[in-house]
Structure 1
C-alpha cells in the first residue's frame, strides 16, 4: 500500500508541480484526445481501464449503438470473470433512441438506471482497481465518434481509494443513482410510446452531430461531385493517359464507388462511343442509371446489350461478357467502334471470353476495375494492363476516407463439442445441433445490428450446413433461406429482393455472394466457417460495407473455432502480408490500424485461438513465399527485389533472409535465371542479409551506403552523416560498428559463414571495403545490385527504430542483438542464458510462460506484479553473496544499466520484447529456495516506464 501512495505522490508532483520530475509513474494525469495521424484515441485508454478493472461506473448523457458496440466483447469477457458495472444515463433531448436501451438490457453484468435530472449532461468513467481508482472525465459521451474521431478533451486521473476527488465523484454518482429509475423492459415500452426523434437543430449546441447527418439530402443528391478519393484517382488516370498509355487498372475496395469513378472519367474523356462490360446482367441496369446520373444525356444514348436486350447503337453501351463475347455479336462491331472500354470485376479477365473481347477491340483507352487483382491461377491481370496501376485504394484507406460504411468486427468463440472447439474436421451433425444453433442465436442477438431490423448474410462452410441451419433457425422463429450454387440466378435475385424489402432476416450461403451481388442494406455479416483465404474474407466482409440510409454501421460476427488458418483473420483485417509472425500477433492485439469509427474486437478465448494458430503455422513454407513472390512479380512485371517487397507491402524481407540466408539463394530456389555469384560474394551477401538488413541499428547501414556510393569515406565524413541522421555518436558505439563489420564480434562459426575476411577495413582514418569486395563490386554488377538492395531495404526498415537510442522500447531483440546493440566486444549469446552483467550493462531475458515440462531447477517464478513492477529471479544456486547477484542489486552504485527483455513463450522464437531499463528495489531482495531446494534470489525490478497495456495483457495472459 505504501508503494501505491508513493507512486501517486510522484504522479501528482509530475502532473501538477514539475513536468521535469524524473520519478516515473503509471499514475501521471493524462490528457486523452483523438488523433488519427498518431493512432491515438480515447477508446483505447477506456478499454485498457475496462479490461483490467474490478468494477466500473459510467455516467454518460448520450449513448449510441455504435459507441456501445465498441465495448460489447470486453463487457462479455468481464462477465465471464464475474466483473460487474453500472451505467447512469438519461433521455435528455431525446438523443438516446429506444433501441439503445434494448441493447443495454442484453448486457447482463451491467446495471443501468435512468435519471430525469433536467439538463443531465455528464461524461465520466470510473474504474475500481485492486489498489487504486482511475477516472476519465471530460467531453466524450459513449458514442463511437466521441471516443474515436471527434475533437475531444478528456482527463484521466488516478486516485487512492481515500482520495477526496474520487470520493466526490463516487458520492455524486451514488446520489443521482439512488434517485434514478432502473432500466426495465416495461420502462422501454413506455419510452417507445412517447419517444420522438432528436431535433438536431436544438441538440447541436450540446452534442456532436453524427458524421453522416446532412442538412439537405435532396440538394446533395442533385450535386454529385467526385469525392476526395475519386478526385485523386481521376488525376492519376489522366497521368497514365498523358504518359502515352492506352490502358489503366483501378484497384478499389468494394463499396468505394468504382462505377461513379469510371463515370466521372468517361465524362472527362468525352468518348464518341463507350462500352462498359460486366459479368452479370443485374449489375448492368444499376451501372447504366449511375452513368446517366453523372454524365447526363437523353435516354436513347444509354443502351443495354444482354441476352434479352440488344441496343447496340447506343452511345453508352452496357454489355454482359456472355453476350458481347459471342463471335456473331463481335462481328457486328468495328474493332475501333468504341474509343473507351471499361471492364468491371476485371480480375475475371483471364477467362477466354474476356481475352477474346479485349483482343478484338482497339479502343483509345481501356480501363479495368477490381477490388481484388490477386488471382489463385497463373493469369497476370497486371500484365494485361501493361502494369499501369492508375489508382489503388484498399480497405484501410477507404475507411480512413469515410467512403465505406463503418463496421464493428467481433471475433467470437465458437461452441465446444465434447470439450473441444468446433474445427475444420467437425462433422455436419455437430455443426447444427440444438446447442450450437442456440449459441449462434445468442451471439447474433448480443452483438446486434444497426437499423430497425436485421438484414443479414450468413456464410457457411458447406451446402448441407446452409440448408440444415436455415431450417433450424426458421424453427426458432427467424426468417431465413439457404442459397447455394445449385440455385438459379432468378432464385438468388428473388431472395435478395426479399431480404431488402424486409420479408427475410437472413440469407445463408456458402460462397456465391463473395462478389457480384450488391445488397447495400446488409447490416450484419455472420461467418460460420474457417478463413481459407484473406481475399475471400475481405470479399465477404465487403458485402456489408456499402453505405445505406438504413444503417450507421455493419456488425460482423466471426465464429472462431480451432481452425489452423485463424492467423489469416488479422492478416486480412490489417492487410499485412509480411508473413512476419510478430506483425500478425501485433495486428491481433493492437488494432489501431483500422481507421474512423470501425473497430476490431476479439473475445478473449477467440483471441487465444488466433495466437495459437500463429504459433503453429508455417508462414515461411515455400508455397506461401512463392505465391507472394509471384503475385509481386506479376504486379511490377519484372523480378522483384527486397525493396520491392517493402514498397508494395508484401513479405518482410527479413523473413526471406532468415529462411534462405540471402535473397540470391531464394531466387535460386525459385529457379529464376539470374547472374551468378561466387562463394565469397554469397558469404558477404549472407552476412549483410542476416546481420544488417533488419535495420535495428542504422550505423552500419549508413557506412555501407557511403562505401557503395563513394568506394571510400573518412571517419570525419562518416561521423558527420551519423550526426545528421540523429544517431548516437560515441566511441563505444563506433568501436562496436568496427567489430561488426570486421567480423571480429562474431563466433568462429559465423565468421566462417560470412567469409572470414573483414567486410570493411579501417586504415589511417578512412573506411573502405576489402579488396575482394571492391573487385566484385566493379566486375559483378549483379552482386552490386544485391548489396545496394540490402542496404536500401535495411535503411527503410531502420526507420522503425529510434536512431538516438541503443534499443527501442517494445521492439523485439535476440540475445545476440543485445550483445551487439549494448556494444559488447563479442557475441556471447550462447553463454548468456537468462542474464549476464558485462561492459556496465546487464541484459535480462525472461520467457514468461514456461514450458509445462520445464525442470524444477529452472522453473523460476518471474512475473509482472503490475505494469511497472517485475518480480525477477536469479538463476538457480545463487545466494545473496554471489558476485553476479551483488552486481545487480547494486547496479545503480556500480553504474550498470539493467535492461529487461520478455517474450510470451518459446513459440515466439528467439526474439524478446524490450521493456526498457529497470532498477532493482533493494527492499524486496530475498534469498529463497527452488523446488529442488537449491538457493535462488528474487527481487522486484522497477520499470523505467510502465509497460503499455496491450503488450502487458498479451504477455501476462497465457494461451491456456
Structure 2
C-alpha cells in the first residue's frame, strides 16, 4: 500500500513529465526551472525558501563569494536556532574562492565545511559542481542542480538555468546524487583555521591565475575555464577603478542624463535648478561636469563644512583642469579664494557681512549650493539672496524637510533630475548592501527598548553579543572598517571603551569633537589602525569614508531620512569592498515600523506595504534585505500598534508633495508619489474632506456631490476593476453618452475581461443597485441616484451627475478619483477577475464575482455559496487571535503549498442542506461551483485578504467531525482538503505558516 506522499509524488511526476492537464502536481514536490527572471523570482529566493523548511541540507558548489553566502546568513542563523544542520562542499578550483569567504564559512556554527582538493599526479582535478540538496520533514528530498554557483550574481542576476527536482529517499536519482556527494565529502579536507592560513599563501602565489583572463582558456577544461572567466568578469565589474592619471573623467549614465536635463532646463530660460541624487551617486562630479559645460567666467561652490570644500575642489579640478592656482578655499581658516576663478566657500564664513561685501552681487556666473536642503537656515538664505548669478544649482539627497522650509520653491520647482537610493542601487551606481535586521540583546526576558538604562546598553555581556553578531555577519574585504551608530554621547564613549577592551579597537566621535579631531580618527579607521568609529548623529551627511564596509545600528529608528543617511555612509564605491554589511539590532522599539518604510522609500502610509517589505524582503540590484524571524515579529508588532495614518504623519507627507509640486496636490498626485488612496478612503472617505483636514481653502460642495465622491473614492479608486472607471472617464469626456459597442471596444482595447456577467455587474455598481437594502454602505450613503443609465444600447450619465459635473471643482475631484483608480489598476491584471497575491475585502469579492448585491460580512462569514452564478469565495484567517470565539476557531491548515485542510462553519453535517448544496456543486466529474480562496495571516492585518486562486475539493477527503467546546455537547463540523489550482507563492506560504524561533544569546 502506497503512502499519501508517494501518491502525491507519483501524480506530480506524471503531471511534470507526461500530462499537466490530466494529473495534478503537488506544489512542494513539483519539478521546476529555477532561473533569475526578476527580483521576485530567482535562484536566491528559491534557495532561501528551501532552507526555511529543510531539516538538513548540503551544498556542493565550486565557487562561493562573500556576497553570495551573505544573502543566506539570516536564514542560516534561524536554522541554527532550530537545531538544523547542513554541509557545504566547495573547492580551490582556479583560486576563485577568496580567503575571506573561507573565513566567513568558518563562522557558520551549524554548517560543516569541507574543501575538495583531489589530485592526479601533480595536477588538481577541477571541481565544478553546482548542486543544492535539501532533506524535508515530510520525508522527501529536493535538489537544485544546474549552472548557479553560490555567488551573488549567479543566484540573483546572471542568466542561469537550474532544475529543481524532488524524490523519495529510496529514489534512484536521489541515491545516485547522495552517494556521489558523500564519496566526495569523505575525500574532501575539513575546513580549519590552519587550512585557511595555508590557503592564503597559495592564494597570493597564484594571483596571476585570477587576473590574466587569457590564461583561463589554457586550462585542461575549456568549458570550466570559460565559466570561470564569466564569473571573474562579473566579480570585476563590481569594482569601479578610476584612472587617476587621466586628465579627463567622463560622466556615468546617470550624470549624462542629468547633464542633458540641465542643458534643456537652461534652454527654457530657467536660471535655477535642483538635482536630487542619493548619497554616493556622484553629485560632486555631476556639478563639475555641468560647470565645465557652462564655462562660467567665475564659479562659487557653497557648503557647510570645510572638509567638503577641500574634497570638492579636488574633484572639480580633476574634471575641469586648468591652472590649479585658479582654485581656492574661502573659509574660517583661509581666505585664498577671494580672487580665484573657482571659489569654494563655507556658508558660515561667507555669510558674514564683512566677507559678503568683498564680493560683488554679480561676481559669479554660476553658484552651486551643496546639501541644498540646508538653505532654509538664515546664513544660507543670506548668501542665496545676496548674489545674482546667471545660474544657481542646488544639490541634495534629502529635499524633504520637517520644518516649513520649501527647497523646491527656492529653485522655482525646477527639478532637473532625480535618482533615489533604490534606483541608484538598481543602476549599480553604489556599493550593494546586505541589510540584516536582527534581534537585539535579551537577558532574563528583557529586551533592549526605548527606556533601557545606559549601563545595560554598554554592559560587557551585551557588547559580547554585539561582537558575536558583527563577526557572524562579517564584512567585505580583508580589513574591517566599521561605523557604529548609537543613541547618546555617553553610550558612544562607553561602548568604544568596552569594544577596545574586548579586542576591537574603537574610538568615539560626537559633536564635542572638532573637525580636525574627527578627521584624525577617520584617518585611523582608513589606515586600519582602529576597527570602529562609534558615533551618534554627526556622520549623517557631509562625511565621505568610502572604506566603510560595515555599518552597525544600535539605536531606535526615529527618522527614515536619518536611517538612509546613516546606511548611506557605507555605500560609496571603493576598491576594498564588494558590498557593505548593515547590521540593525532591533529591540522592542515603538518606531520599528519605520525600518521597512526607510529601506524601501515607501511613503504610502499603508501598513500592508510595510508588512510586505518584512515578509517578501525585496531586492534592489544585488542589495538584499533580510530579517531574522524574531526581528520580523518585533517589526510586525510595531506596525500593528502604530497609526500610520495619524494626522501629523499624513499632513507632513502632504506638505512635502505640495512643496514639490508648487500647488495643491490631487489624490492622483499623492497616489503616484506617496499616500495611498486606500488611506484617504479609509480615514477621510473622499478627497474634498481630506483637503479640508489639510486646512486647504476649497470651494464648498453640496451633500450629493460629497456622497458621489465617497462612492468614487471608496469603491472605485482602489483600481481592482477598470470597467467602471473606463466607462465613467469616457462619459465625462464626451457628451455624456456612449454606445454599448464603443464601450465593448474600449474594454477590449484596455485588455479587460469581458462577458455579459461583468457588464451586468457594472450596471449594478453604477446604478447603485449593488448597494440596495440595509447593507452598509447603502444607496443612500452614495447619493441614492444612479450615476449611469443603461438602456436601448447606450450608456448615459444620469441627470443629477450631469448637473454635478457642471461644477468645475466637483468635476475635477470626480475625474481625479477616476485617474487615481486607473493608476492603481496598473497593479492588477485586467484580463481576469482577481490577481493572485493582491488583497481584497469581502465587498470587493462580491463585486468582482458579479453578484447582484453586496452581502454583509456577517452573512458571508468564512464562505458563501452563490447558487445564481455558482461561485463560492472562502475567507480564512490563518492564525486565529487568542480571544476568538471557540465556535469559529477552526484549525484550517496548509499541508503544503497546494493543499489546505479546511473546515466548514460550525454545526454543519454532511447530510445538511448547506453541505449537500456545496458538495453537489463540487462533485467529481461535474464541478459546477467555482471556489476562490482568500487568506490573511491574522486579524492584525485588517479586513482584507490575499487572493490565492481557485481551488477544488480533493476526492475522498470530506469528513464529518465533532468539536468539543468547553463542557457543551460536541458540535458537528465538516472538514476536507482543498487543492489550489496554482501553488501558493513560496514567500507568501512561508509568511502564513512561519513558526517564530525565540531569540538566543
Tell whether the 8 Å contact from 1:699 to 1:727 is kept in structure 2 after alignment: yes
CA shift for structure 1 position 435: 2.0
Tell whether the 8 Å contact from 1:236 to 1:391 is kept in structure 2 after alignment: yes
Tell whether the 8 Å contact from 2:441 to 2:462 is kept in structure 1 after alignment: yes
* Candidates 900, 909, 912, aligned match of 1:879: 909
Q: How does 1:694-733 map to 2 (within 5 A)?
A: 694-710=718-734, 711-733=736-758
CA shift for structure 1 position 21: 5.5
Q: Deviations over 1:49-79 (max 9, x none)?
A: 1111111111011111111111111101011
Partner SS state of residue 425, structure 1: coil
Aligned to 1:906: 939
CA shift for structure 1 position 806: 1.0
Partner SS state of residue 504, structure 1: coil
Establish whether residue 122 from structure 1 lines up as the match of residue 129 from structure 2. yes
Aligned to 2:962: 929
Partner SS state of residue 225, structure 1: coil
Q: How does 1:568-647 map to 2 (within 5 A)?
A: 568-592=594-618, 594-647=619-672
Aligned to 1:241: 266
Tell whether the 8 Å contact from 1:66 to 1:144 is kept in structure 2 after alignment: yes
Tell whether the 8 Å contact from 2:240 to 2:573 is kept in structure 1 after alignment: no
- CA 1:756–1:216: 2 relative to 1, 3 Å: closer
Q: Deviations over 1:451-499 (max 9, x none)?
A: 1211111111111211221121111111111111122222211111111
Distance, in Å, in 1 between the alignment partners of 2:609 and 2:693 is 25
* Candidates 185, 209, 216, aligned match of 2:232: 209
Q: How does 1:159-174 map to 2 (within 5 A)?
A: 159-174=167-182
CA shift for structure 1 position 195: 2.7
Q: How does 1:280-429 map to 2 (within 5 A)?
A: 280-310=305-335, 311-429=337-455
Q: Deviations over 1:785-812 (max 9, x none)?
A: 0000000110111111111111111111
Distance, in Å, in 2 between the alignment partners of 1:308 and 1:845 is 70
Aligned to 1:465: 491
Aligned to 1:85: 86
TM-score (norm 2): 0.93
Aligned length: 956
Aligned to 1:534: 560
Establish whether residue 864 from structure 1 lines up as the match of residue 872 from structure 2. no
Tell whether the 8 Å contact from 1:856 to 1:931 is kept in structure 2 after alignment: no
Q: How does 1:214-293 map to 2 (within 5 A)?
A: 217=241, 219=243, 222=246, 224-293=249-318
Aligned to 1:785: 812
Distance, in Å, in 2 between the alignment partners of 1:631 and 1:640 is 10
Partner SS state of residue 620, structure 2: coil
Partner SS state of residue 653, structure 2: helix
Q: Deviations over 1:211-254 (max 9, x none)?
A: 46279957586252111111111111111111111100000000
Tell whether the 8 Å contact from 1:888 to 1:920 is kept in structure 2 after alignment: no
Q: Deviations over 1:654-703 (max 9, x none)?
A: 21111100010011112210111111001000011000000111111111
Distance, in Å, in 2 between the alignment partners of 1:802 and 1:67 is 34
Distance, in Å, in 1 between the alignment partners of 2:939 and 2:672 is 32
Establish whether residue 801 from structure 1 lines up as the match of residue 825 from structure 2. no
Establish whether residue 673 from structure 1 lines up as the match of residue 694 from structure 2. no
Distance, in Å, in 1 between the alignment partners of 2:721 and 2:240 is 56
CA shift for structure 1 position 958: 5.7
- CA 1:413–1:119: 2 relative to 1, 3 Å: same
Tell whether the 8 Å contact from 1:857 to 1:931 is kept in structure 2 after alignment: no
Partner SS state of residue 312, structure 1: helix
Select between 538-547 and 283-292 the one with higher mean Cα deviation: 283-292
CA shift for structure 1 position 730: 1.2
Tell whether the 8 Å contact from 2:299 to 2:367 is kept in structure 1 after alignment: yes
Aligned to 2:44: 43
- CA 1:553–1:386: 2 relative to 1, 3 Å: same
Distance, in Å, in 2 between the alignment partners of 1:110 and 1:867 is 28
TM-score (norm 1): 0.97
Q: Give unmatched runs, 5+ long, in structure 1.
A: none
Distance, in Å, in 1 between the alignment partners of 2:244 and 2:14 is 53
* Candidates 785, 790, 799, aligned match of 1:757: 785
* Candidates 909, 919, 927, aligned match of 2:952: 919
Establish whether residue 566 from structure 1 lines up as the match of residue 592 from structure 2. yes
Partner SS state of residue 349, structure 1: helix
Tell whether the 8 Å contact from 1:819 to 1:829 is kept in structure 2 after alignment: no
Distance, in Å, in 2 between the alignment partners of 1:220 and 1:287 is 16
CA shift for structure 1 position 210: 4.8
CA shift for structure 1 position 205: 2.5
CA shift for structure 1 position 15: 3.6
* Candidates 945, 953, 960, aligned match of 2:990: 953
Q: How does 1:493-512 map to 2 (within 5 A)?
A: 493-512=519-538
Tell whether the 8 Å contact from 1:891 to 1:898 is kept in structure 2 after alignment: no
Aligned to 1:113: 114
Establish whether residue 524 from structure 1 lines up as the match of residue 553 from structure 2. no
* Candidates 802, 806, 816, aligned match of 1:774: 802
Partner SS state of residue 199, structure 1: helix
CA shift for structure 1 position 501: 1.3
Distance, in Å, in 2 between the alignment partners of 1:474 and 1:891 is 72
Distance, in Å, in 1 between the alignment partners of 2:109 and 2:61 is 19
Distance, in Å, in 2 between the alignment partners of 1:898 and 1:487 is 67
Q: Deviations over 1:715-747 (max 9, x none)?
A: 111111112212122111111111111111114
Tell whether the 8 Å contact from 2:13 to 2:25 is kept in structure 1 after alignment: no
CA shift for structure 1 position 161: 2.3
Q: Deviations over 1:121-155 (max 9, x none)?
A: 11111111123221111111111111112222222
Distance, in Å, in 2 between the alignment partners of 1:788 and 1:445 is 56
Q: How does 1:123-138 map to 2 (within 5 A)?
A: 123-129=130-136, 130-138=138-146
Partner SS state of residue 411, structure 1: strand
Distance, in Å, in 2 between the alignment partners of 1:70 and 1:13 is 35
Aligned to 1:943: 980
Partner SS state of residue 917, structure 2: helix
Q: Deviations over 1:260-300 (max 9, x none)?
A: 01111111111111101111001111111111111110111
Tell whether the 8 Å contact from 1:88 to 1:115 is kept in structure 2 after alignment: yes
- CA 1:216–1:55: 2 relative to 1, 3 Å: closer
Aligned to 1:150: 158
Establish whether residue 29 from structure 1 lines up as the match of residue 62 from structure 2. no
Establish whether residue 833 from structure 1 lines up as the match of residue 861 from structure 2. yes
CA shift for structure 1 position 2: 4.1
CA shift for structure 1 position 35: 3.3
Aligned to 1:548: 574
Distance, in Å, in 2 between the alignment partners of 1:290 and 1:316 is 12
Tell whether the 8 Å contact from 2:61 to 2:150 is kept in structure 1 after alignment: yes
Distance, in Å, in 1 between the alignment partners of 2:659 and 2:964 is 59
Aligned to 1:103: 104
Distance, in Å, in 2 between the alignment partners of 1:701 and 1:10 is 44
Distance, in Å, in 2 between the alignment partners of 1:588 and 1:522 is 26
- CA 1:456–1:930: 2 relative to 1, 3 Å: same
